[in-house]
Amino acid sequence: MDIAKCLTLIDLLCAREFPTAHGRTEHGEGGPGYHIVALRTSGEFWEDDGTDRQETAAQYEADRDGLVERLTDRWGPPQHFSLRSVFGRTMQGEDIAEPWAELSAHVPDVHLWEAAESGRWVALGVSQWDKELPFQLLGVVTETDPP
């Protein structure tokens, strides 16, 4: 993983206007008030006995932690924000704003900062939709406060 490229992309999304509608963007997904970018994506695990998956999970957490260190140098220590209760509230029918509702379905927690220069929230999390599917290191930039 190229940390410098990841940081540059996060900076770009902090400065870029948000899309007016939900959908794919040049760098990932976006919608009114948010950008989501996959900073890194693993392969799939259909033929895995569990070993590769565990090693990949550990590597993605280490990559996230490396970026957390660099962003902490900029904005101070992050909030560690669990999305598990957000997912539960979404499943019970509560209307949770995006990007938080979508993220809560596949990202258990995020490291979260409020970027002083832009006033936007920046989050990093590791996503995996299901045990056979790839891991993704996600960067999120949003103007929507966490629920």
- For 48, residues 6+ apart whose C-beta sits below 8 A from its C-beta are 132
What percent of the chain stands above pLDDT 90? 81
Question: According to the model, what pLDDT value does residue 141 have?
Answer: 98
Q: Facing residues of 125 across strands?
A: 138
Of 100, 85, 87, 38, the residue nearest 63 (C-alpha): 38
Each domain of the chain, given as residue ranges in start order, spans 3-14+36-142
- Within 10 Å of residue 53's Cβ, how many Cβ atoms? 17
Write down the pLDDT at residue 130. Answer: 85
If you average pLDDT over residues 67-85, what whole number do you get? 96
Q: For residue 50, is pLDDT > 80?
A: no
pLDDT, mean over the chain: 93
Average pLDDT over residues 115-130: 91
- The H or E element spanning position 36 is strand 34-41
Please tell me the pTM assigned to this model.
0.93
pLDDT score for 37: 97
Q: Is the pLDDT of residue 21 over 90?
A: yes
